Amino acid sequence: MLDLLRGRRVVVLSGAGCSTESGIPDYRGADGTERKRAPMQYGEFVRSADARARYWARSAVGWPRFTDARPNDGHRALARLEEAGLVRGVITQNIDGLHHAAGSRRVVELHGSLAAVRCLTCGEAEERGAFQERLLALNDRWSERLRREGGSGGIESAPDGDAELPAWAVASFRVPGCGGCGSVMKPDVVFFGESVPKERVDAAWRLFEEADVLLVAGSSLAVYSGRRFTDRARREGVPIAVINSGPTRADEAAAVKVDGRLGRVLPVLVDALVASAAGGSSV
Ligand code: NAD
Ligand code: ZN
């Protein structure tokens, strides 16, 4: 791994595995199988008021935990590599903002960010924190009942800043509309069934084109949106390095694969790379 990355321009492609050590669950996990709960589909969200109530009820509960998440040693190691000039930037499939929080500067958030909510009709954006206040204000009795009935302590966290809830809580949840036009608000993230906005894909390709090596960190690459980068790397002969616990769709094409925990592997790798860039030890 060190030999492959040393002296090369590295672009990182990160996924949910980068953030599990910050307490945010991934979708697939080390055995490569999908979690039991299906993620929200774009078409369902747009068409169905019930689906939106379900989404926002769960999200209202999951949001405080999501905002509690802090970057871990893996995020910090990648930020250090960028600062040392060894990583050109990060293309991330994550929507949690933790690369930025760790100090990474060139980050393309391919799937957007949960920090913002946007109106599907007029495009007005609102901070998720402000939307949270409106969600809770419309559902104050609801929040009380949820607390009374054993609520959040027993509620399971899910990916996407989400949580599992009892049926009554989903059925009785009220969703605020856009502050400007009253229409439907959607988190500013790319749902399944939705495509990544062109300017964001373009920005990701521009970053990709700077790479001598593509380093995959914590992604199963089961989703095409991320896999398109390893597919192109393979076609163009850009070497791929993978750090992931469990299988990924790029394992066969990878020049190097380390099966391990990012919070442990990355800091060691970064120490060695920074030392060797400074003309120090050869690990
Ligand atoms: P994925 O869940 O398909 O794959 C994550 C991979 O990381 C798995 O192979 C898992 O075994 C591995 N992993 C988990 N913890 C690890 C660790 N500590 N060290 C090393 N490897 C670890 O995730 P994906 O490929 O990013 O695709 C999932 C989709 O879901 C993306 O589209 C993404 O937008 C979304 N998502 C985002 C978040 C987030 O923002 N944190 C969380 C869940 C899902
Ligand atoms: Zn609007």
Which residues, other chains included, contact 40 with Cβ-Cβ below 8 Å and sequence gap of 6+?
A: 51, 55, 160, 191, 192
The sign of the torsion formed by the CA atoms of 91, 94, 100, 104 equals: negative
**Ordered domains of the chain (ranges, CATH):** 1-24+71-111+195-283 (3.40.50.1220), 39-68+114-189 (3.30.1600)
Q: What is the CA radius of gyration of the chain?
A: 20
What are the tens digits of pLDDT across the range 73-125? 999 999 999 999 999 999 999 999 999 999 999 999 999 999 999 999 999 99
| Separation in Å, CA 241 to CA 15, 86, 148 | 14, 15, 49
Q: Is there a contact between 95 and 85 (Cβ–Cβ < 8 Å)?
A: no
How far apart CA 226 and CA 5 sit, in angstroms, is 21
Block residue for tokens 């791994």: 1
What are the tens digits of pLDDT across the range 197-242? 999 999 999 999 999 999 999 999 999 999 999 999 999 999 999 9
Question: Ligand 1 pocket check: which of 21, 24, 27 to mutate, most ligand atoms within 8 Å of Cβ?
Answer: 27
Q: Is 93 in the pocket of ligand 1 (CB under 6 A)?
A: yes
For residue 17 the two structure tokens come to: 């595995």
For residue 193 the two structure tokens come to: 């069934």
For residue 94 the two structure tokens come to: 């994550």
Centre of ligand 1 to C-alpha 219, Å, is: 5
Q: Is there a contact between 241 and 1 (Cβ–Cβ < 8 Å)?
A: yes
